[in-house]
């Protein structure tokens, strides 16, 4: 039996179907628009079907036949990836694609260095990365859009596997002019009457707020932001204190002002940084290799990009 198409043609077809545009698909797969147009034309000719409706103002839309073929093409491409993985398993060689997710609060600090060292160790692995909210990490893992992710142990679903790597204690962040700036440590009770800049992310904000609810008080929330960098700048410019578990190597806000990280006193549980993946991912060689790399690189005494010392 002679195949009437190539996997590369199917890859281009799927890219156009998802993007709704040859130009956007070209940017996604890093191939010229004429090459993609030629691949689509060849598929339509071989199958004797029209795969797209061409709309001049609105790009391309899949025909009913195109929608059906796209589902089958995706499944075939997934099978081809699995075949590559099996071949890698048999040969014992770490190679092929690896898609990494990371919680966006610390992605900029940890992932680039972690990824670079992994790629140097395994040059035949093609790594891609995504910076995500916690709930998006869970969804992407279940949909097989990412293979493994770095995150915290916050509300991990029972169908996913969490592998702890390091504990990160919470700190109060204050600017240089804050009344509590010279304290060696501070309690939640001491913070409660000062204005707070809340890092208002799903799951994370619940964790920070739990410190106050456990002693029966409410924080005085003055500002909310979903961006770690904005939070640090607001604190450094006197808008209030904040609480975070991520302490960069440089104790400066993005606009260059000095921050003080003060350890929190009392029964405040640390965040556990670790890896989360699906049950089946543990058997994939590239995932295994990345997990081992993380275990070697991220330890209780050393986290790339972070200052993990216990106190000032």
* Stated pTM of the model: 0.68
- Residue ending a domain, among 60, 82, 104, is 82
Whether residues 186 and 255 share a domain: the answer is yes
d(CA 70, CA 76) in angstroms, rounded, equals: 10
Here the CATH number for the domain that contains residue 156 is: 3.40.190.10
Here the CATH number for the domain that contains residue 41 is: 1.10.10.10
The predicted pLDDT at position 192 comes to 94
Whether residues 42 and 182 share a domain: the answer is no
- Report yes or no on 122 lying in a domain: yes
- Report yes or no on 205 lying in a domain: yes
Whether residues 223 and 280 share a domain: the answer is no
Whether residues 156 and 202 share a domain: the answer is no
The predicted pLDDT at position 92 comes to 61
Whether residues 66 and 202 share a domain: the answer is no
- Report yes or no on 310 lying in a domain: no
The predicted pLDDT at position 57 comes to 59
Whether residues 163 and 177 share a domain: the answer is no
State whether residue 187 is helix, strand or coil: coil
Whether residues 203 and 72 share a domain: the answer is no
Residues 6+ apart with CB under 8 A from 61: 20, 52, 53, 55
Whether residues 213 and 183 share a domain: the answer is yes
d(CA 69, CA 91) in angstroms, rounded, equals: 33
- Residue ending a domain, among 58, 82, 106, is 82
- Report yes or no on 27 lying in a domain: yes
- Report yes or no on 97 lying in a domain: yes
Which CA distances in Å does 258 have to 177, 306, 312?
10, 17, 14
**Cα 2 to the center of its chain, rounded Å:** 41
- pLDDT tens digit string along 48-79? 889 998 876 567 889 999 899 999 988 888 87
CA geometry: angle at 126 spanning 125 and 127, to 5°?
105
- Report yes or no on 308 lying in a domain: no
Whether residues 182 and 239 share a domain: the answer is yes
- pLDDT tens digit string along 132-179? 999 999 988 888 889 999 999 999 988 899 999 999 999 999 999 999
State whether residue 191 is helix, strand or coil: helix
Longest Cα–Cα distance of the chain, Å, equals: 79
The predicted pLDDT at position 295 comes to 95
- Report yes or no on 312 lying in a domain: no
Whether residues 280 and 151 share a domain: the answer is yes
- Residue ending a domain, among 25, 47, 82, is 82
Q: The domain containing residue 224 runs over which residues?
A: 170-263
Whether residues 158 and 287 share a domain: the answer is yes
The predicted pLDDT at position 310 comes to 53
Q: What are phi and psi of 61, to 5 degrees?
A: -125, 140
Strand partners, 302: 299
Instruction: Find the length of the chain.
Output: 312
Which residues in the chain show pLDDT less than 50? 1, 91, 311-312
Strand partners, 264: 186
The predicted pLDDT at position 49 comes to 87
Whether residues 62 and 134 share a domain: the answer is no
The predicted pLDDT at position 87 comes to 56
- Report yes or no on 309 lying in a domain: no
What's the structural domain count of the chain?
3
């Amino acid at each position: 039996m002679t195949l009437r198409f190539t996997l590369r043609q199917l890859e281009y077809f799927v890219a156009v179907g998802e993007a709704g545009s040859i130009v956007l698909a070209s940017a996604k797969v890093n191939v010229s628009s004429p090459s993609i147009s030629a691949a689509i034309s060849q598929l339509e000719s071989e199958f004797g079907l029209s795969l797209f409706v061409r709309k001049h103002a609105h790009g391309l839309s899949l025909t009913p036949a195109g929608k059906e073929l796209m589902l089958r093409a995706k499944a075939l491409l997934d099978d081809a990836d699995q075949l590559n993985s099996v071949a890698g398993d048999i040969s014992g060689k770490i190679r092929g694609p690896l898609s990494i997710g990371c919680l966006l609060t610390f992605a900029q600090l940890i992932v680039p260095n972690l990824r670079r060292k992994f790629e140097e160790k395994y040059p035949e692995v093609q790594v891609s990365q995504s910076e995500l909210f916690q709930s998006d990490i869970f969804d992407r893992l279940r949909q097989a859009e990412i293979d493994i992710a770095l995150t915290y142990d916050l509300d991990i679903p029972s169908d996913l596997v969490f592998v702890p790597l390091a504990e990160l204690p919470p700190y109060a962040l204050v600017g240089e002019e804050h009344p509590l700036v010279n304290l060696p440590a501070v309690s939640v009770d001491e913070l409660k009457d000062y204005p707070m800049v809340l890092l208002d992310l799903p799951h994370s904000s619940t964790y920070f707020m739990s410190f106050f609810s456990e002693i029966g008080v409410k924080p005085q929330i003055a500002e909310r932001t979903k961006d770690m960098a904005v939070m640090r700048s607001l604190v450094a410019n006197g808008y209030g204190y904040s609480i975070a578990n991520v302490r960069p190597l440089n104790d400066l806000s993005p606009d260059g002002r000095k921050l003080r990280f003060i350890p929190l006193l009392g029964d405040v549980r640390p965040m556990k940084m670790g890896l989360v993946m699906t049950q089946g991912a543990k058997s994939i060689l590239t995932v295994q290799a990345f997990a081992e790399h993380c275990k070697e690189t991220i330890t209780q005494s050393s986290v790339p990009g972070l200052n993990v010392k216990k106190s000032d």
